[in-house]
Structure 1
């Protein structure tokens, strides 16, 4: 069963959880850099992003697009989602799917 087959409440909750995962990874990497630690963040992203490095943002966009115009979350726009992706890519130095 695809996440898109679930009801609206589940999809809202999953989208919010995925949004929080992104914020958590940004904070972890930012702290690493502030302490002058350098690393490959592949392991971190694949273990802390619900969809892993490759599928996390694609799944988020799919969920966001699954809502009708009336259902789209006011608390998270597609513009914010794309900003979060760009910020995580910039801070990690990685391209995310």
Structure 2
């Protein structure tokens, strides 16, 4: 097994573990691509990892938009002063 193949296998394993964990986070280490192109025998696997990453990114974008809408709605709720009464008695 060539060093390039071994290096790319390690990178793909790392990406797949991150995707499987569904947390989208890689180690704090900076990503360093192995030297040289992806070996042909790993191209299909690398393309599958890329497709999964794109799906995760799209899902995160949707989630982010939903959270932004919820936050905007919460910001429109008026705040209650602690000096103001919490209830109004209308049955006099």
Give me the TM-score of the superposition, normalised by structure 1: 0.40
Higher relative contact order (CA 8 A, sep 6+): 1
Higher-helix-fraction structure: 1
Structure showing greater Rg:
2
